[in-house]
Amino acid sequence: MKTAHVTKTAREQLIDVLTPLMPADWRLIKYQRNIDRIDRLTLIVKQQTIEKLPQAPAGALVTSFTLTLVAPYTDPTKAEDALDAGVMDLLLGLGRMNQTSWSTASKVLVEDTYLGYDVSIKISTPVTPDQTESEDA
């Protein structure tokens, strides 16, 4: 049976895109988890769905993520100020990348304490057929 594989996972590709966009003082959390304390602008990567790409059913997958940008302040004014600049920088950077497509940025409350934005984003992952055949059919 022929198998297929990806060179890099969708998460790895997204991290490669995000890393140069992020200011040095931001924190990147690559996997969804609860956070006890936010001490700087923090971007959390949450994988949501994996779909076949309709235009190329055998050749690509589309993975949806939610990027949650969280401000480190419990004071709403400070949080809003930090998020206003941070989310715009993030969205403008993502808009310049060919590999990704973001659709919405919605304000959220994180851990019942911190303000943030959930950014919906999709990334396409090419799938290449493996030329070796398996005898396990």
Count the domains in the chain.
1
Q: What angle do CA 48, 89, 123 make, to 5 degrees?
A: 30
Q: Is the pLDDT of residue 134 over 60?
A: no
**Is there a domain that residue 136 lies in?**
no
**Is there a domain that residue 135 lies in?**
no
pLDDT tens-place string over residues 26-49: 999 999 887 778 899 999 999 999
Q: Where are the beta strands (DSSP E) in the chain?
A: 2-5, 27-29, 42-52, 60-70, 100-110, 114-126, 128-133
Residue 117, phi then psi, degrees to nearest 5: -130, 135
Residue 21 to residues 17, 24, 68: CA-CA distances in angstroms? 7, 9, 15
Percent of the chain topping pLDDT 90:
53
**Is there a domain that residue 133 lies in?**
no
Other Cβ atoms closer than 10 A to 48: 12
Residue showing tokens 């998020």 = 83
Q: Could you tell me the two tokens for 43?
A: 């971007």
Mean residue pLDDT of the chain comes to 85
pTM of structure? 0.83
The domain that holds 52 is classified in CATH as 3.30.2000.10
pLDDT range class, residue 4, cuts 50, 70, 90 = low
* Residue 99: per-residue pLDDT: 76
- Chain centre to alpha carbon of residue 116: 15
**Is there a domain that residue 94 lies in?**
yes
**Is there a domain that residue 134 lies in?**
no
Q: Could you tell me the two tokens for 53?
A: 């790409």
* Residue 124: per-residue pLDDT: 85
pLDDT tens-place string over residues 77-96: 999 999 999 999 999 988 88
The range of the structural domain enclosing residue 13 comes to 2-128
* Residue 137: per-residue pLDDT: 43
Distance CA 69, CA 16 (A): 17
Which of 97, 94, 96 lies closest to 45 in space, CA to CA?
Answer: 94
